[in-house]
Structure 1
Amino acid sequence: MDIRFLLLVPISLTACNMAHPLDGLDRSGTASAGGHDFRVNYNLETAQATRTNPTWRPELAEVMLAAMQATEEVTGCAVKPGTALGDIALVNMSLDCRVK
């Protein structure tokens, strides 16, 4: 096996649950809601909630609601209505940190 491949595995695993540097999401935290666990990366305007627990075929609506609840818990900000978009793994949303 090529040694370069073995070096890439730990590096790629450390990138899990991390926001892309160009997203500007410089804060993070974890929370659980609705039976799901999330890593929330955020700034004062935007958040990304990544579901981190294995669940067999979760319902999208259930995951979206849980992601919004976990995001509000971690950030202390309200999720702006109608801004949560994503899938069962990653939900992006806008925050209103003036209200909560």
Structure 2
Amino acid sequence: MARFLPYLNLLILVACGAPSMGVIGGQSERVTVGDYVFEVNFKGSRAEAYRTNTLWAPKARQVFAAGATAMEQVTGCHVVRSSVRGDVALVQADLLC
């Protein structure tokens, strides 16, 4: 069991940066908004922004606003503000294109 633990950890780490089911096969782009760096993945009317930089105790409200702005910059679509959800690491939203 102990010899499989490093492989399990690697699998978990790889999965952390993978897009969710709704945006797999879509486009991806890195963008900076203020103090935040995001990897934005989008497909159709769905988008998600992974915050990739390290900050001490970022405020959720600021991360959500920056993530929504990042999605709009990358996709050229408007973010449905009432659909913004997630946490300080991953922001998801629906798009109006």
Q: How would you bin the TM-score normalised by the shorter chain?
A: 0.7 to 0.9
Q: How do 1:3-82 residues align onto structure 2 when only pairs under 5 Å count?
A: 3-21=3-21, 23-27=22-26, 28-82=28-82
Distance 2:83 2:7 in 1: 39
Counterpart of 2:25, as a letter, is D
List runs of 5+ in structure 2 lacking aligned partners: none
Assess if the C-alpha contact under 8 Å between 1:26 and 1:41 holds in 2.
Answer: no
List runs of 5+ in structure 1 lacking aligned partners: none
Deviation at 1:77, TM superposition (A): 1.6
Distance 1:24 1:55 in 2: 26
TM-score, with length taken from structure 1: 0.79
Assess if the C-alpha contact under 8 Å between 1:68 and 1:79 holds in 2.
Answer: yes
Distance 1:66 1:24 in 2: 20
In terms of fraction of residues, the more helix-rich structure is 2
Per-residue CA distance 1:11-31 (angstroms, 9 max, x = gap):
33222221233x244222211
After superposing the two structures, state which structure 1 stretch, 55-64 or 80-89, moved more.
Answer: 80-89
Distance 2:15 2:3 in 1: 20
TM-score, with length taken from structure 2: 0.81
Distance 2:48 2:31 in 1: 13
Counterpart of 1:36, as a letter, is Y
Counterpart of 1:80, as a letter, is V
